Structure 1
Amino acid sequence: MSRADAAIEATVRRAPLIGALTGIRALAAFWVFLRHFRTEIVDALGPGPFTQFVIHLASAGYLGVDLFFILSGFILTYTHLTTMTSAYTWRTAVGFIWLRLARVWPLTAFVLMLFGAYFIFQALSSGDPSFLAQADPGRLLLHLTLLNGWFPSTLDWNGVDWSVSAEWMAYLTFAVGVVALGRFAAVASRRVMVTVIVLLMLPVLVVGISMQDDTIFLFANDSYVTAAGVLPIRVLGEFWIGAVLCLLLRRYLSETPEPQNVEGVRRMPLATLAAAASVAVLLVVAYHDPLHNMRAGQEEFHNGIDMIAPAESIIVLPLLVLLIACLAICPRDPLSRLLATRPFLLAGRASFAFYLVHPLIIGAGLLAASRLHADSGPPLLAMGIATAAAAWLSAWILWRFIEEPSRKLLRRMLPPSVVV
């Protein structure tokens, strides 16, 4: 690492790294992968109780995105609140926005180009020019400007980058709202902070539960068009839950000596218990759907396995918030220790690249499986494992050679007077 890069990293890491919160990003990204690969999981494992158990957990993988939203608000507050509010100016806000663009835009744009190349490959290999219709230039422009998720639309190009667009919306609110957040931190009691977190959860829970099953807190009823108003409620609510949660846990996150009762809390296996409770709630809701509210025309079963995620699974949101809190303050917890290990830290750093590229790798894996006639059973299971491994390898390459170099380059472009 060059001296300039070392200086950049020292600036970025003013706050001590919370390893478990980096590691859980890998689990969240892989959870989304399982959601998108669940049909192949059924074909590989065959029908049966164990397959149904796996699919109930995989079908709730859309919640991995909600974990990302909460984590984003938490980490940005943890990293930037003090420096941004100590001498806030318009330059601070612009600098923050630039740093967030440096983090997400280069890789998002690069993967979009990979999707364009894949559309061309499909057309050439099949001889069917209709595949080129997927490369709509107007929609590409919206994706490149990170505005594609701001308006109701179908998921095109890289369908998963709607969440990057939604995050961009949250970044813009943080660049301005951090001033109010700093004032709130100075005057609000912990009871008030808990109340605010609960109030921010209510719209998310009410809207999520009221939607139809397997709309995955995204689509309008009876269509695959994103529902108007859902994304601001979902992403802004969860992002600011994470921000206020960080304020609530400040005394646990500080490096100052802690009272005996605080140290006792940090030694408890709270993160492991929160994770186990989250899985239990998801399974109870899946096996005993309290309000079976299917969209018309939606196929529910595949080879006798229920593939649908009940809308009520969003009720796990408070436990996901608790999980993030416990991972942050309980470093001795078994789950925290596991997520802070080197493999999980590396996977967590590459998780954004994994999230963006995994639909493309899944498509390539399924194409290879078809040509190898690995359509079911152990051959498909082997192809699935190979596809997951290829997705992680591709993610590491993209993180190492595209995402990180671009982030560092764009960060160097900030004038030294801008402290974020």
Structure 2
Amino acid sequence: MKTSDAYYTDNWGSTYRILCEFTAGAITYLIVRRFLPGAAADPKPRIQKLASTLSLVLPLIVIAGAVFLGNLPAAQPPATNLSADSEALPPYFHLLLVPFLIAWIGALALSRRGLARTLSTRTMVLGGFISYSLYMTHLVWFGLWRAGMNAVGIDGGALYAIGLLGLIAGALAIAWLMWRFVEEPAREWMRALAGARRTPTEEAGEQLAEQALAGDSAEPIIVNGKEENSN
């Protein structure tokens, strides 16, 4: 898609954006580690309470901010001469919402109840594992699905709704297959080359899910006869 936003296209704009995102993620990780007491799995109770509150408040701030900017006349970008298929430009000042998203991720990492507890269930943890494969494959699958729907002449009605369900189910199935048979084996192989333990990430994820359901810290994972804490 085309866009006239220099932030995305001109003068290495995308590179700056990606570098800032990775840097923000690293800073968030360091802050979270700062509030974890040594090797213990859980932060102090008052930190957990504050994090649980922020994990609910921060996304509401982001949504409210997005709605506000979307309806603020001064924040609307000028009309462009690009084609009708061009990507719509975001409102000005939308990057002001990014710090709240970063803080939200940190709050979820420090929280042990509420929204964080829900996101720690087995189903949600699995969704997190396959999310990168979903990101990498969904556009290809969507293109094939759209071409198939056009080929059979389905562009609306009940059959189209059924097709949408197939689109979603197919995207998730492809993502799971890519994660299970490509991403995880490749990760284990690279970790072995680096001399790190080859324990699949899903094992650690299951420990975290069980921890959230039981309300306790995750038990150490036994790898090659040695104990390694999953956290």
Fold conserved between structures, TM > 0.5: yes
The aligned counterpart of 2:186 is 406
Q: Give the deviation of 1:292 after TM superposition.
A: 2.7
| Paired residues for 1:384-403 under 5 Å | 384-403=164-183
Distance in 2 (CA, whole Å) between partners of 1:243 and 1:380 is: 43
Contact map agreement 2:28 2:103 (CA 8 A) in 1: no
Distance in 1 (CA, whole Å) between partners of 2:83 and 2:65 is: 24
The aligned counterpart of 1:293 is 78
What is the identity, as a one-letter code, of the residue corresponding to 1:316? L
| Paired residues for 1:40-189 under 5 Å | none
Q: Which one has the bigger helix percentage?
A: 1
**Larger displacement relative to structure 2 (241-250 or 286-295):** 286-295
Q: Give the deviation of 1:388 after TM superposition.
A: 1.6
Pair 373,324 (structure 1): closer, same or farther in 2 beyond 3 Å: same
What is the identity, as a one-letter code, of the residue corresponding to 2:122? R
The aligned counterpart of 1:265 is 50
Q: Give the deviation of 1:217 after TM superposition.
A: 4.5
RMSD across aligned C-alpha pairs, in angstroms?
2.9
Q: After TM superposition, what 4+ stretches of structure 1 lie above 6 angstroms from structure 2?
A: none
Cα offsets for 1:336-379 (capped at 9, x unmatched): 12221111111111111111110111011101211232213443
Distance in 2 (CA, whole Å) between partners of 1:276 and 1:378 is: 35
The aligned counterpart of 1:335 is 115
Structure 2 residue runs without a partner (length 5+): 197-231
Could you say what secondary structure the match of 1:408 adopts?
Answer: helix
The aligned counterpart of 1:218 is 8
Cα offsets for 1:131-169 (capped at 9, x unmatched): xxxxxxxxxxxxxxxxxxxxxxx9xxxxxxxxxxxxxxx
Q: Give the deviation of 1:404 after TM superposition.
A: 0.8
Cα offsets for 1:189-223 (capped at 9, x unmatched): xxxxxxxxxxxxxxxxxxxxxx95xx49523xxxx
The aligned counterpart of 2:103 is 322
Cα offsets for 1:57-88 (capped at 9, x unmatched): xxxxxxxxxxxxxxxxxxxxxxxxxxxxxxxx
Contact map agreement 2:55 2:115 (CA 8 A) in 1: yes
What percentage of residue pairs aligned between the two structures are identical? 23
Distance in 1 (CA, whole Å) between partners of 2:148 and 2:43 is: 56
Structure 1 residue runs without a partner (length 5+): 1-35, 37-153, 155-210, 220-226, 302-306
Distance in 1 (CA, whole Å) between partners of 2:192 and 2:117 is: 34
Cα offsets for 1:81-133 (capped at 9, x unmatched): xxxxxxxxxxxxxxxxxxxxxxxxxxxxxxxxxxxxxxxxxxxxxxxxxxxxx
| Paired residues for 1:245-256 under 5 Å | 245-254=28-37, 255=40
Q: Give the deviation of 1:391 after TM superposition.
A: 0.7
What is the identity, as a one-letter code, of the residue corresponding to 1:314? L
Aligned length: 192
The aligned counterpart of 1:228 is 11
**Larger displacement relative to structure 2 (352-361 or 407-416):** 407-416
Contact map agreement 2:36 2:43 (CA 8 A) in 1: no
- Of 364, 372, 375, the residue aligned with 2:152 is 372
Q: Does 1:308 align with 2:88?
A: yes
Distance in 1 (CA, whole Å) between partners of 2:175 and 2:6 is: 25
Distance in 2 (CA, whole Å) between partners of 1:371 and 1:231 is: 36
The aligned counterpart of 1:275 is 59
Pair 324,348 (structure 1): closer, same or farther in 2 beyond 3 Å: same
The aligned counterpart of 1:85 is none
Pair 372,327 (structure 1): closer, same or farther in 2 beyond 3 Å: same
Contact map agreement 1:285 1:310 (CA 8 A) in 2: no
Q: Give the deviation of 1:264 after TM superposition.
A: 3.5
Q: Give the deviation of 1:258 after TM superposition.
A: 5.4
Distance in 1 (CA, whole Å) between partners of 2:31 and 2:164 is: 41
Between 1 and 2, higher relative CO (CA 8 Å, sep ≥ 6) is seen in 1
Question: What's the TM-score, normalizing by structure 1?
Answer: 0.41
Contact map agreement 1:350 1:396 (CA 8 A) in 2: yes
Question: What's the TM-score, normalizing by structure 2?
Answer: 0.71
